[in-house]
Amino acid sequence: MFNFALRRLPFCARRGARGRSLQRLPQPFLPACLSPFVPAFVPAFVPAFVPAFIAAPAHAQSVIAEATLPAVNVSASPAATPRAVDPNLPASVETVTPEQFNNWNVVNTEDVLKYMPNLAVRKRFIGDLNSIIAVRGTSNTQSARGLVYADGLLLSNLLGSSYSFPPRWSMVFPDEIQQVDVIYGPFSALYPGNSLGATVLISTAMPKKFEATADVKAFTQHFSLFGVNQNFNGSEMSATIGDRIGKFSYQLGVNHLENTSQPLQFATLAQSGTPAKAGDTPVTGAYFYNNQTNAPTVVLGVNGEGIEHAVQDQFKLKMQYDFTPTLQAGFTLGYWHQTYNSETSSFLRDANGNPVYSGKIAIGGYEYMIPAAALAPSLGHSENWLYGVSLKTRNATGWNGEAIASYYDIGNSVARTANSGAPGNGPGTVIFGDGTGWKTLDLRSTYTPATKQAGLANHALSFGYHYDNYFLDNEGYNTLNWRDGAATSFANAFTGKTQTQALYAQDAWRFLPRWKLVYGVRYEDWQAYDGSLALPGKAVPYSDANQHHFSPKASLSFDVSDDLTLRASIGRAYRFPTVSELFQGKINGSTIVNNNPNLQPEDDLSKELTAEWAHWNGVFRFSLFQDDVKNTIFSQTDTTVIPNVTSFQNIGKVRSRGVETSYSGQDVFIRGLDLLASVAYTQSKIIANAQNPATVGKYFYRIPLWRADLAATWHIDERAALTLAARYSGRQYNTLTNTDTNPDVFGGTSTYTVADARLTFKPTKQSEIGVGVDNIFDARYFVYHPYPGRTFYVDAKLRM
Residue 472's nearest CA partner among 533, 537, 543 is: 533
The answer to whether residue 76 sits within a structural domain is no
The Cα 543–Cα 532 span in angstroms is 9
In the predicted structure, residue 358 carries a pLDDT above the cut 60: yes
Residue 443, beta-bridge partner list: 403, 465
Burial of 202 (0-12, 13-18, 19+ CB in 10 A): buried
- Determine if residue 129 is left, alpha or beta; phi over 0 gives left, psi from -120 to 50 gives alpha, anything else beta: alpha
pLDDT for 84: 62
Beta-strand pair 359-363/281-282: parallel
| Poorest-pLDDT segment among 33-37, 170-174, 666-670 | 33-37
pLDDT for 539: 86
Please, are residues 787 and 764 in contact by the beta-carbon 8 Å criterion?
no
φ, ψ dihedrals at 195, nearest 5°: -80, 5
In the predicted structure, residue 470 carries a pLDDT above the cut 60: yes
pLDDT for 1: 36
The Cα 126–Cα 434 span in angstroms is 26
| Cβ-count burial 641-655 (b if 16+ within 10 Å, e if not) | eeeebebbbbbbbbb
| pTM score of the predicted model | 0.88
Compute the average pLDDT of residues 716-730: 97
In the predicted structure, residue 381 carries a pLDDT above the cut 60: yes
The answer to whether residue 160 sits within a structural domain is no
For residue 593, what pLDDT band results from cuts at 50, 70 and 90?
Answer: low
Sign of CA dihedral 360, 362, 365, 369: negative
For 769-784, the pLDDT digits (tens) are 999 999 999 999 999 9
The answer to whether residue 59 sits within a structural domain is no
For 196-240, the pLDDT digits (tens) are 999 999 999 999 999 999 999 999 999 999 989 999 999 999 999
In the predicted structure, residue 688 carries a pLDDT above the cut 80: yes
Residue 676's nearest CA partner among 135, 99, 132, 203 is: 99
Report the chain's C-alpha Rg in angstroms: 27
The Cα 15–Cα 30 span in angstroms is 10
pLDDT for 644: 83
Q: What is residue 113's three-state secondary structure?
A: helix
In the predicted structure, residue 409 carries a pLDDT above the cut 80: yes
For 735-765, the pLDDT digits (tens) are 999 999 999 999 999 999 999 999 999 999 9
pLDDT above 90 as % of the chain: 80
The Cα 233–Cα 217 span in angstroms is 11
pLDDT for 21: 35
| Poorest-pLDDT segment among 445-459, 468-482, 611-625 | 445-459
Residues of the domain holding 441: 211-799
As separate numbers, helices (DSSP H) first and strands (DSSP E) second, the chain gives 3, 40
For 648-658, the pLDDT digits (tens) are 999 999 999 99
Number of domains in the chain: 1
Q: How far is CA 685 from CA 136, 186, 646, in A?
A: 12, 20, 21
Evaluate the omega torsion of the peptide bond into residue 643 and state whether it is cis, within 30 degrees of 0.
yes
| Cβ-count burial 436-455 (b if 16+ within 10 Å, e if not) | bbbbbbbbbbbbbbeeeeee
Q: How far is CA 523 from CA 189, 348, 554, in A?
A: 9, 59, 15
pLDDT for 277: 94
Compute the average pLDDT of residues 95-100: 96
pLDDT for 642: 83
Q: Which residues contact 256 (CB under 8 A, 6 or more apart)?
A: 236, 237, 238, 311, 312, 313, 314
pLDDT for 36: 29
* CB atoms inside a 10 Å sphere around CB 683: 15
Please, are residues 43 and 66 in contact by the beta-carbon 8 Å criterion?
no
The Cα 182–Cα 2 span in angstroms is 17
In the predicted structure, residue 17 carries a pLDDT above the cut 80: no
Per-position DSSP letters for 181-234, written without gaps between them: EEEESS--TTS-GGGGSEEEEEEE---SS-EEEEEEEEEEEEEEETTEEEEEEE
pLDDT for 452: 54
In the predicted structure, residue 510 carries a pLDDT above the cut 70: yes
Q: Which residues contact 458 (CB under 8 A, 6 or more apart)?
A: 39, 40, 41, 509, 510, 511
Per-position DSSP letters for 257-309, written without gaps between them: EEEEEEE--EEEEEPP-SBP-TT-EE-B--EEEE-TTS-EEEEEEEEEEEEEE
Instruction: Give, rounded to a whole angstrom, the gap between the first and last alpha carbons of the chain.
Output: 46
Q: What is residue 544's three-state secondary structure?
A: coil
Please, are residues 395 and 326 in contact by the beta-carbon 8 Å criterion?
yes
Instruction: Report the CATH number that the domain containing residue 407 is assigned in CATH.
Output: 2.40.170.20
φ, ψ dihedrals at 110, nearest 5°: -65, -15
Residue 115's nearest CA partner among 124, 125, 123, 104 is: 104
Q: Which residues contact 154 (CB under 8 A, 6 or more apart)?
A: 58, 147, 148, 406, 408, 438, 440, 468
Ranges of H-type helices in 77-174: 98-101
In the predicted structure, residue 7 carries a pLDDT above the cut 60: no
Residue 664's nearest CA partner among 654, 678, 651 is: 678
Residues belonging to the chain:
800
* CB atoms inside a 10 Å sphere around CB 744: 14
The answer to whether residue 456 sits within a structural domain is yes
pLDDT for 45: 31
For residue 31, what pLDDT band results from cuts at 50, 70 and 90?
Answer: very low
pLDDT for 456: 66
The answer to whether residue 319 sits within a structural domain is yes
* CB atoms inside a 10 Å sphere around CB 397: 15
Compute the average pLDDT of residues 309-313: 97
For residue 424, what pLDDT band results from cuts at 50, 70 and 90?
Answer: confident
Residue 283's nearest CA partner among 350, 231, 188 is: 350
Residue 400's nearest CA partner among 58, 84, 51 is: 51
Compute the average pLDDT of residues 95-117: 96
Evaluate the omega torsion of the peptide bond into residue 87 and state whether it is cis, within 30 degrees of 0.
no
The Cα 466–Cα 504 span in angstroms is 8
Average pLDDT, the chain: 88
The answer to whether residue 405 sits within a structural domain is yes
For 176-185, the pLDDT digits (tens) are 999 999 999 9
Per-position DSSP letters for 634-672, written without gaps between them: EEEEETTSSS-EEEEEEEEEEEEEEEEEEEEESS-SSTT
The answer to whether residue 13 sits within a structural domain is no
Q: What is residue 725's three-state secondary structure?
A: strand
The Cα 20–Cα 94 span in angstroms is 11
φ, ψ dihedrals at 194, nearest 5°: -65, -10
Please, are residues 610 and 555 in contact by the beta-carbon 8 Å criterion?
no
Higher pLDDT pick, 744 / 587: 744
Compute the average pLDDT of residues 159-174: 93
pLDDT above 70 as % of the chain: 88
Residue 589's nearest CA partner among 648, 643, 529 is: 643
The answer to whether residue 670 sits within a structural domain is yes
